[in-house]
Structure 1
């Protein structure tokens, strides 16, 4: 995503605020969607679900900063991000020019509240994403602690075209990963393609699928406040609708040190 610049960073940052990291790999999922890996400073720490602030030189010579969720696992020695190219976007212009070996800036700190430690204990973890909102959930699903904490993991990913279903093969392989398999959780992956008829069994917007019960039927698990914990990341309209639907069922976000039953990413 190409979000608004962070004023604190855009106003000028000293070198001590960031590290220069080298691009290791670029992967184009579609002409407008790509993922990329960079080197990782040994001092960079994050919790799965966090985002990092990335900086690229703009056309005016100033650094343009944008927040991107970390896709890689906390134990990986590289950082990975999933991005959409916004036409004429200040950051996207630089991102589109990136090649393996180029450098970008990574803020030394990580940020965000889309982490499982924000949630009260529960049986099922629902990860609901649209578009590149999938990114933090890949990192969360790569965390062995998540597979030990929950019995069921339900990943819902909505896109317009099937080609945008990034990491589909990687998701299918997660239950067999040696670090995750011993956790015992069962993973259900529900891709949703809304503008390519017949591409997936589910083909409507996520809030509609929740409202009429089809999402729960496909998952074989209820979105019940007693057992389910829900994390949402993606299109702001979808997130707003999901917040309302979940509130009607008794779900609440955490506040003042009290863990909740749902969590949302707010940096979009």
Structure 2
């Protein structure tokens, strides 16, 4: 049964009208980059709660959550209204196996996401593990509009710290954005346009992680399978590891 910690909001950072990062101070706990906890607020009859990945790395004591406010949602609009000094409950223990220790060896690591699915990758990149294990890391973030491209300064900082090792490729589907690709990620994989743009190859030496919209994950898995990259399972290691935030 989950236990709950009480955290205090120290920042509600706006990326746009619907996307925000909630930064929270809470009693310290251990987790592995890529894992998630639940955030909760009191409801009329029971606690309102939902799972969110930790965006901060395990070495950062301030918890960071990337959240989209869904107008019809029970919890996210209330989280959206929190200001510094407000409290929010954080579940324990952390959960999830979308972590780098579950990823087989490879030369390249492809971190492919849509929307808030970029969150666990930022947590991973804040550790030494991916930089030590993989020659090249491709961070692919698919969004609808350019204002959804968050954490740009942090990504640029990593690129400066690891020159040539981190390749960042935004994908913006509903407007033209300099440097971004515009088609859906599965189409870009299937056509080879993604590989051509980043200068990498999706082959047997690649490990691919997929996180975000379930339709993207389903279609991207099919496109990757056409290239000979099958799903990674503990009983049968492969090249594609997935995490879905909603179904």
2:10 corresponds to 1:24: yes
Partner of 2:169: 190
1:54 pairs with one of 39, 47, 52: 39
Taking the aligned partners of 1:201 and 1:145, their CA distance within structure 2 comes to 27
Number of residues paired by the alignment?
Answer: 246
Q: What CA deviation, in whole Å up to 9, does each residue of 1:190-211 have, x standing for no partner? A: 0111111244441111111111
Q: What CA deviation, in whole Å up to 9, does each residue of 1:188-242 have, x standing for no partner? A: 0001111112444411111111111100001101011x21000011111001101
2:95 corresponds to 1:95: no
2:227 pairs with one of 249, 258, 263: 249
Taking the aligned partners of 1:165 and 1:151, their CA distance within structure 2 comes to 25
2:109 corresponds to 1:125: yes
Taking the aligned partners of 2:18 and 2:236, their CA distance within structure 1 comes to 40
Taking the aligned partners of 2:122 and 2:128, their CA distance within structure 1 comes to 12
Alignment TM-score, normalising by the size of structure 1 = 0.87
Q: What CA deviation, in whole Å up to 9, does each residue of 1:79-103 have, x standing for no partner? A: 1010000013101231122111111
Partner of 2:195: 216
2:69 corresponds to 1:85: yes
Whether the aligned pair in 1 keeps the contact of 2:114 and 2:143 (CA below 8 Å) is yes
Tell me: CA distance 1:49–1:89, structure 2 relative to 1, closer, same or farther (3 Å).
same
Partner of 2:216: 238
Whether the aligned pair in 1 keeps the contact of 2:213 and 2:245 (CA below 8 Å) is no
Q: Secondary structure at the match of 1:196?
A: coil
Partner of 1:63: 47
Q: Secondary structure at the match of 1:265?
A: strand
Q: By how many angstroms is 1:113 displaced? A: 1.9
2:93 corresponds to 1:109: yes
Instruction: Supply the RMSD in Å over aligned alpha carbons.
Output: 1.7
Q: Secondary structure at the match of 1:175?
A: helix
Partner of 1:263: 241
Detail structure 1 runs of 4+ shifted over 4 Å in the superposition.
none
Whether the aligned pair in 2 keeps the contact of 1:118 and 1:259 (CA below 8 Å) is no
Q: By how many angstroms is 1:129 displaced? A: 0.6
Q: What CA deviation, in whole Å up to 9, does each residue of 1:139-178 have, x standing for no partner? A: 111111110100000000011110100011210111344x
Q: Secondary structure at the match of 2:123?
A: helix
Q: How does 1:145-164 map to 2 (within 5 A)?
A: 145-164=129-148
Tell me: CA distance 1:78–1:155, structure 2 relative to 1, closer, same or farther (3 Å).
same
2:57 pairs with one of 63, 70, 73: 73
Taking the aligned partners of 1:100 and 1:62, their CA distance within structure 2 comes to 24
Taking the aligned partners of 2:144 and 2:232, their CA distance within structure 1 comes to 31
2:185 pairs with one of 203, 206, 209: 206
Structure 2: where are the runs of 5+ without partners?
none
Whether the aligned pair in 2 keeps the contact of 1:158 and 1:206 (CA below 8 Å) is yes
Alignment TM-score, normalising by the size of structure 2 = 0.94
